[in-house]
Every structure is written in structure tokens, then in C-alpha cells.
Structure 1
Amino acid sequence: MSIKVNLDVIMAKRKMTLTELSEKVGITMANLSILKTGKAKAIRFSTLESICQNLDCQPGDILVYDPDDPPSS
């Protein structure tokens, strides 16, 4: 997939666990884990906003476009 999710990197920089972020954002650990591992096919803007707010970052810190990685079909 051409979009890379760097959530794990940002969480490590902020020293925040999956459990902590899950509680603060209000989504299940399972759904947050899917996003963290890059297996998510979509994310709601409200979820992205809450993640950015709680990690004090920008959406571009979490989602990165990689033109060299072909999109999955």
C-alpha cells in the first residue's frame, strides 16, 4: 500500500502505550492495533483528529505517502 502508517513511531516518541492511547481516543485496542500495524483500509477524520490531539502531532506525522510502494489491490 502506498500510504504508510507511522503511528507506532509517534507513540514511541511520546512514550505512550496502545492501552493509554486507546483509552484517550475512545476506540478499541483491536481497532487501534489494526491502524498501528498498517492493516487498516480507512480512518475516520474524527479518529485521526483525536489521535493527533492526544499525541500532539499532525496527520502528516502519522500518514506518509510512499510513491515507490505499489498500491495493494
Structure 2
Amino acid sequence: MRSRSTFSLLFWVETSRIKNGRALIIARITINGKRSNISLKRKVEVARWNMSRSRVDGTSREAVKINRFLDRV
């Protein structure tokens, strides 16, 4: 009998704790239906966050740096 395993990784910004227009990036890891939220200890401007892509919009130095960090996570 085979068992099926699932894995999912989702990024979003914590909009309930916005300070100076910036919010923390949170990662949610889901394995076999069990969730765990982890703060990535990186802040981003909420206006630049693209919710559908789970990435920072733009080509600024900060946006590229954060997007590379998210790719490594």
C-alpha cells in the first residue's frame, strides 16, 4: 500500500502588524495537512508586495535581494 505525502510552501506579509508601511514576511509550510507558520525576519513595504506572486514587485536593489532570499527559502 502506498501512502501519499504532500508539501506546500506559501509566503505572505503580516498585515495586522504594519509599522511605517512595512510588514514582516511569513512562510507557511504545510506537510500532509499540518501547518506551521514561520517568520522570515525580513520586512517589506506592503505597497510593493504582490499577493498573487508572493514576491516583491520592482527591480530595486531591496526587491531583488528579498526575492532571491525567498527563492533560497
Question: Whose radius of gyration is greater, 1 or 2?
Answer: 2
* Larger RCO (CA within 8 A; separation ≥ 6): 1
The TM-score range, normalised by the shorter chain, is 0.3 to 0.5
Structure with greater proportional strand content: 2
Larger helix proportion, structure 1 or 2?
A: 1
TM-score using structure 2 length: 0.32
TM-score for the superposition, normalised by structure 1: 0.32
